[in-house]
A and B are shown apart, each in its own frame.
Chain A
């Protein structure tokens, strides 16, 4: 990173040469001896040491003999190699060559095992336990402490650190990985060492739970079985699990995960290790949110509406394909497609091609949240095909500006990177928003207090933006007229890097594959004749429809008005788009769903589609990074969207040309990205909003709102422990705002907006004056359905 002209010299001075076990090794300066030893293939036993945590030297298991510290003198006693940086000329002897090191390691292991219970057979960690393994490799067969009668210190067990994390204190070897993770990585220091000596243990403050969105990571890094998860406890043993690397389907982070399954059932998920993306951490939703796919309402066979009885009945796949194709043919192109945001890129591509080739329409929109034409233009001009910002850029940036994005709730892995960068390099995080959240405080961020709706002005007014700045805009900005235009303009003017961070895993892939009314696959604008011809040639069709299609709001309105006669709908909550049952009943509806839902009941043809665990595919994360994953389970009851759409298309006589995700991917690669002119960035001024939501006047209260990480989402169903760690739904407002409404902290208040009202407890928060915050979705309190969207005018008053 420094001067380039004498890069050789820099490299030379940064390398340190030392001798480990008689072998010379050169490693970068400040490397720890324990990792330098790994370079020559010597594994020094360790518990507290973790490459992503700061060195602490807590467990003392990694003792090595250092006869020469690089200055000609040796250490008189063995040293902990996990806290010892290398020095030029240092000589280190590990347990491989030094009897002294070996004996001290065995001694430490004997100490660690004094009070460790011999309950490996019932311990969840048994079989994958570093303590078990290293006791075998670096411990003594016999303990001298058994002579005391074998009485060990015991604790009542287990205790709940949180509804999800259980602690067996007697197994703990006090390596402090969990407390260090909580303090350093997640910034939720709810667990800490308490007591002294043999009684030293991990504890929580009285009555306080270990409330963190990242608590599951402590279970994974615990080197003994002290921390276990309530969901996995006693469910299985590591040796009968089959592990498959995969990618999370819960958010746009693209986090690598490992899915462990047994006999056709996913037992647990762990974080994968991808240094470029999520490092070794994932959110609890990514970790524990897998039971949703095996709920009782999972669709297991296609259904069609019986012509005689009007009821849904089971059908064969070919029959369902035929019925769907017939219905779509009858609608003669008056069809809307709402694929939703859960799709893999292959599935999204199939939807996109199905719309263009089979239905011959551009009425396709993956967005099922507040959105605008401005957003579509922004996606087409700035987001699609762009890979300007990566996780590494977040770390090397000087300043990150968050607009309409609360990373802790909406993109956990971004939050962890921001926090890491802030701690390491002092990255400055600036959030343009209404609430100084706990997440923002944890990254030492500064809030630019902004009423919802004023984000564009606040962003334009920011000074000191330059090329070392990264601007992250959240998908929520679509609800703020002019904000995305302003973000694009600011990035253009200042040279700052700009990235769009959606919430759902399939959103970015849907953009890339053209699940938008004005965008074709590969970033080809519908309005560009050359792009249409290029695509038509690649697809071997006569032409691609040139009229810009309807967006999701347009599709819903046209359905209501009867201008559209058929709807193909995927993972969408109809309430999010305000689709009324009457409209669904009137139209010919083809539903592709994993589980029975509000619209599958009303659909004319229902296809069970595979969840991410039952199919191979690719998610494109917010960076634009391609994240492919393989199939975990073989489940014959459902098919990927690709196969379902291919079946309908073939029955319709207008095949999409592939049937499997692999073939779809091959064709996507072949079609490739558009190299011609891109659509121009939107230039919407503030105040000209297209969705027509009620903008608040400057005197009244405005609603600020977003979805919390753990909410009422269907992808979190089936895990009561996970649900219990959700943050309680509260209304936040500043003390002045609350006083103005005659409310005090802790009261119950009624929040009234354009859609209705809801009653929740209120709390004083660091919220901009004139703004009230409430969670857009929470179990039993979905403000987005009950009250209104962010930016709406609301009133608040005491509840009876």
Chain B
């Protein structure tokens, strides 16, 4: 024979969590309709950065590919020429691919990058329906051109040589003008 408590109080008490939660702030995110900002250091999609004049920071050294535990990055370097310059210095990344089917967004590539060319954004919407669309090319990864940046290829605008860029000794070059 159940006691009175068991008969009347316990069934109500069982809904205690339910009733309490009804008056609390909701944690559910209405994701596709309402996009909330991530934590500031969230590891999202990669970005290939540019120098302030628009030249690419990537030198095609492949250290990111070497560091990658998932073998998600493929890089091919090539030589800059005086006519066609994509980055300060001799070498640039001609091919740069990140396979987001493989990438685990661990960020080891960012640590490996010697020129801070590769960083991560907070963009997390990395789902798609085809394999091809998830292999991001260099054009997909490059940072957008900000005001004052010029689409490469063009000569170095902010230094005499790559040393000026690497040392942060950026200044407007007298000759050359606008490329």
Residues on A facing B (Cβ under 8 Å): 119, 121-122, 126-127, 154, 157-158, 233-237, 239-240
Contacts and interface: CB of A to CB of B under 8 A. Distances in A.
B62 A240 contact: yes
B178 to A, nearest CB: 26
A122 B115 CA distance: 11
A237 to B, nearest CB: 5
A235 B61 contact: no
Contact of A121 (B59, B76, B78, B163): B59
A126 B61 contact: yes
A139 to B, nearest CB: 19
A237 B62 contact: yes
Contacts of A127: 66
Given A121-B114, A122-B89, A240-B65, A235 B59 contact: no
A158 B79 CA distance: 11
A154 B161 CA distance: 12
B66 A237 contact: yes
* 4 nearest A-B pairs in the assembled complex, by CB-CB distance: A121-B61, A234-B77, A122-B91, A237-B62
A234 B63 CA distance: 13
A234 B91 contact: yes
A121 B115 contact: yes
Contacts, number: 39
Contacts of B111: none
Contacts of A233: 79
Given A121-B59, A121-B63, A240-B62, A235 B76 contact: yes
A234 B89 contact: no
A240 B63 CA distance: 10
B155 interface: no
B71 to A, nearest CB: 10
B137 to A, nearest CB: 16
B82 interface: no
A234 B78 contact: yes
A780 B23 CA distance: 90
B105 to A, nearest CB: 22
B60 to A, nearest CB: 7
Given A121-B59, A122-B59, A122-B90, A235 B77 contact: yes
A78 B127 CA distance: 63
A336 B91 CA distance: 54
Contacts of B89: 119, 122
Contacts of B115: 121
Interface string B123-150: 0000000000000000000000000000
Nearest to B66: A239
A614 B66 CA distance: 27
11 contacts: A121-B114, A122-B59, A122-B89, A126-B61, A157-B90, A234-B78, A235-B76, A235-B77, A236-B76, A237-B66, A240-B66
Interface in B54-93: 59-63, 65-66, 76-79, 89-91
A773 B63 CA distance: 53
Given A234-B91, A237-B66, A239-B66, A122 B61 contact: yes
The residue in A233, A234, A240 that gathers the most chain B C-beta atoms within 10 A of its C-beta is: A234
A126 B112 CA distance: 14
Contacts of B65: 237, 240
A296 B114 CA distance: 37
A236 B114 CA distance: 17
Given A122-B61, A237-B61, A237-B65, 14 more contacts: A121-B59, A121-B63, A121-B114, A122-B60, A122-B77, A122-B89, A122-B91, A154-B163, A234-B77, A235-B77, A237-B66, A239-B62, A239-B66, A240-B66
Nearest to B63: A121
A234 B79 contact: yes
A235 B77 CA distance: 6
A233 B76 CA distance: 11
B57 to A, nearest CB: 12
Nearest to B87: A122
Nearest to B112: A121
The residue in A119, A127, A157, A239 that gathers the most chain B C-beta atoms within 10 A of its C-beta is: A119
Contacts of A126: 61
B31 to A, nearest CB: 38
Contacts of B76: 235-236
A558 to B, nearest CB: 52
